[in-house]
Amino acid sequence: MALKNKYLIDLLETVKKRNQGEPEFIQAVTEVIETLEPVIEKRPDLVEAGVLDRLVEPERQIVFRVPWVDDNGKVQVNRGFRVQFNSAIGPYKGGIRLHPSVYIGIIKFLGFEQVFKNSLTTLPMGGGKGGSDFDPKGKSDGEVMRFCQSFMTELCKHIGADTDVPAGDIGTGAREIGYMFGQYKRLRNEFTGVLTGKGLTYGGSLARTEATGYGLCYFTDEMLKANGKSFEGKTVVISGSGNVAIYATEKATALGAKVVALSDSNGYIYDPDGIDLACVKQLKEVERKRIKEYVATHPNATYTEGCKGIWTIKCDIALPCATQNEIDGESAAILVKNGCWCVSEGANMPSTPEAINTYLANGILYGPAKAANAGGVATSGLEMSQNSERLSWTFEEVDAKLHGIMVSIFKACESAAKEYGMEGNYMAGANIAGFLKVAEAMKAQGCV
Ligand code: NDP
């Protein structure tokens, strides 16, 4: 989409100059700015208040050394990050990613997206994100614990239940959150809801583990219904085999679909009989093994090296749940050619701009990540509420609230897109609806 508004063109130029070497961040900002053009044309007051100029610059970026000792007694050093992006509508909130590809540009793109996503949930949460280039894969429990303790030793100076509340993301699951929470409590001598995604015995919420995957399916189901369709009897391809992918598979199957493929960063499995989720959970959640092990016990299934090929499998609905930019223009074209008519995003920014253009040009029902995967952070918000009132809600209570939030997110995207003349473009709707709440709050609070 080519921008016409001079203010936005100049703003994007400034962002590009100021954030050189951070292509993912520039990609995320470009997408949002392009879809906000009709809002900016209508709202000169927001330009006057410098809302967008401030919104594209994080409030605070913290970069720190994380030294730890491996099992051989050798000192290892990683780099830690926390980007506190925007606190206009609540304390900073967003996960911690542990993956070797992490650098400041990844954390900034994720933090930026989180601002809009958290706004869409209707809960009072600002946006932030953190992480490290530490790779938990192949490390012993002891090594992971020593890394997490060192990471939290610095991070604890910058977070708090009313300041900034981190959670999980790629590479950060229940084990890592447990070690981080233990260290925070020990250093600060306080038991508060400073992290979400905690274990159920120490303040975690039921349904948080399932929330992102379930929420993705609730959002997608609502989008399908609004367009006269459903999951029932459809073939679904899901990438990844981590937290989001596993629970998206569970809910899509419960809604009547057949999930035929999953992947990890080495390759993908295809099972024409439908994925046996109990086996995947055992392999990934309990044994921490690779997805290729699945075929050893499922003779009809095949394993193929390389993850991109998963998008060549024929399907009705594709749910990318692994990582950023995993569907490029070429893969999107193959999906369309094979008859796929819906793409809904569990991962953050899994589609390149070329892929998104392909979806929109071909009338694909497209559920953008900011809206479609907001169920995780929404349920983290519910975990914060439970921690504050020192109560635990039942699984059914949390799940019902999650469902209600995902339906309302879809409706917000649908009506914002319509109001600004882009009916059916839920990406534009998500960006506009998420932006407006934050923008009004920023304007009301003055130039801070
Ligand atoms: P997990 O670490 O549980 O799983 C990640 C999965 O994606 C693994 O199968 C992993 O394979 C695969 N993967 C990771 N990096 C790559 C890569 N570079 N190329 C190919 N595959 C890759 O993470 P989550 O399931 O929690 O997160 C998945 C996505 O969902 C991320 O984009 C995350 O930001 C997003 N998300 C997560 C939320 C949550 O609540 N957890 C909330 C909202 C969004 P391997 O094991 O080989 O690395």
Shared domain check, 74 and 46: no
Does residue 171 line the site of ligand 1, with CB under 6 A? yes
The domain of 74 spans 60-190
DSSP 8-state assignment for residue 128: E
b (16+ CB within 10 A) / e for 377-403: bbbbbbbbbbbeeeeebeeeebbebbb
C-beta of 24 in contact with ligand 1 (< 6 A): no
**93 in the same domain as 173:** yes
The pLDDT value given to residue 2:
85
Q: What is the pLDDT of residue 81?
A: 99
Spell out the alpha helix ranges (H) of 156-207. 174-188
Assess whether the C-beta atom of 168 lies below 6 angstroms from ligand 1. yes
262 and 164 in a common domain: no
pLDDT tens for 333-380 read: 999 999 999 999 999 999 999 999 999 999 999 999 999 999 999 999
Is residue 121 in some structural domain?
Answer: yes
Query: In this structure, what are the phi and psi dihedrals at residue 97, rounded to the nearest 5 degrees?
Result: -100, 130
Does residue 71 fall inside a structural domain? yes
Q: Which residues contact 94 (CB under 8 A, 6 or more apart)?
A: 85, 110, 111, 114, 118, 127, 128, 129, 130, 166, 167, 169, 377
438, part of any domain? no
In a domain, 434, yes or no: no
Distance 347 CA to ligand 1 centre (A): 7
Overall size of the chain counted in residues: 448
**pLDDT means over runs of 10, the chain (448 residues):** 93 98 98 97 97 98 98 98 98 98 98 98 98 97 98 98 98 97 98 97 98 98 98 98 98 98 98 98 96 97 97 98 98 98 98 98 98 98 97 98 98 98 97 98 98
If residue 84 lies in a helix (H) or strand (E), which one and from where to where?
Answer: strand 75-86
The domain that holds 66 is classified in CATH as 3.40.50.10860
Query: How far does residue 321's CA lie from ligand 1's centre (Å)?
Result: 6
Question: Which residues, at least 6 apart from 374, have a Cβ–Cβ distance to it below 8 Å?
Answer: 117, 118, 120, 121, 215, 219, 405, 406, 409
Backbone φ and ψ for 225, nearest 5 degrees, come out as -60, -45
Residue of 135, 170, 198, 249 to test ligand 1 pocket, by largest number of atoms within 8 Å of CB: 170
Instruction: Identify the CA nearest to 115 among candidates 418, 352, 441.
Output: 441
Q: Indicate whether 177 and 302 sit together in one domain.
A: no
Q: What's the 158 CA to ligand 1 centre distance in angstroms? A: 25
Name the 3-class secondary structure at 366. Answer: strand
Whether residue 243 is found in the same domain as residue 362: yes
Which protein residue has the closest C-alpha to ligand 1 atom 21?
A: 265
Rounded Cα distance, 438 and 370, in Å:
14
Give Cα 286 distance to the centre of its chain: 23
Point out the domain boundary residue: 372, 405, 431.
Answer: 372
Does residue 237 share a domain with residue 142?
no
**Closest-CA residue to 409 (of 357, 349, 368):** 368
Check: CB of residue 264 under 8 Å from CB of residue 283: no
Alpha carbon distance 316, 341 (integer Å): 6
Q: Are residues 155 and 236 in the same domain?
A: no
Q: What ligand 1 atom has the least distance to the C-alpha of 262?
A: 9
How many Å lie between the centroid of ligand 1 and the Cα of residue 169?
A: 7
Query: In testing the pocket of ligand 1, which one of 169, 176, 284, 326 has its CB within 8 Å of the most ligand atoms?
Result: 169
Say yes or no: 237 and 351 in one domain.
Answer: yes
Does the residue 252 lie in any domain? yes
